[in-house]
Amino acid sequence: MSTETPTIEKTSCIFCNIVNKLENTEILYEDDDICVFRDIKPASDYHILTIPKRHIDDAKCLISSDKALVEKMLATAKELLTKNNLSIEDARFGYHWPPFRSVRHLHLHTIAPESKMGTIAKMIFMKNSYWFASPAYVVSRL
């Protein structure tokens, strides 16, 4: 009986590679279901991405059984804001809505303080727009 750990190979999905520790990315939080790390192009002082460890292309691919996962992603993001002494009320949360996404792996953006976001960032991460959906909207579709 072999006790060797199978080798995990890089894939074309950068976020799957981060989950599998194949990228040099600082993980801020992880458990069996999710992983959190900093956005490489922050839209404010604090900008994190919360992703499921299981590959899900985007918010349109979620199914009703994913509701608890999506709720956990938001709850974890809010906990990290609180732990970093940032206001949940002055934060922006959302998912890029297909086809308006650069990475095909579901990810929740958490940006704080929202009040420090620049004009371009406010456009890219515009609340309730065709391209940036709120967590509440995403959950309402499940």
Catalytically annotated residues: 107
Residue-by-residue DSSP string for the chain: ---PPPPPPP-S-HHHHHHTT-S---EEEE-SSEEEEE-SS-SSSEEEEEEESS----GGG--GGGHHHHHHHHHHHHHHHHHTT--STT-EEEEEPTTS-SSSS--EEEEE-GGG--HHHHHHT-TT-SSEE-HHHHHHT-
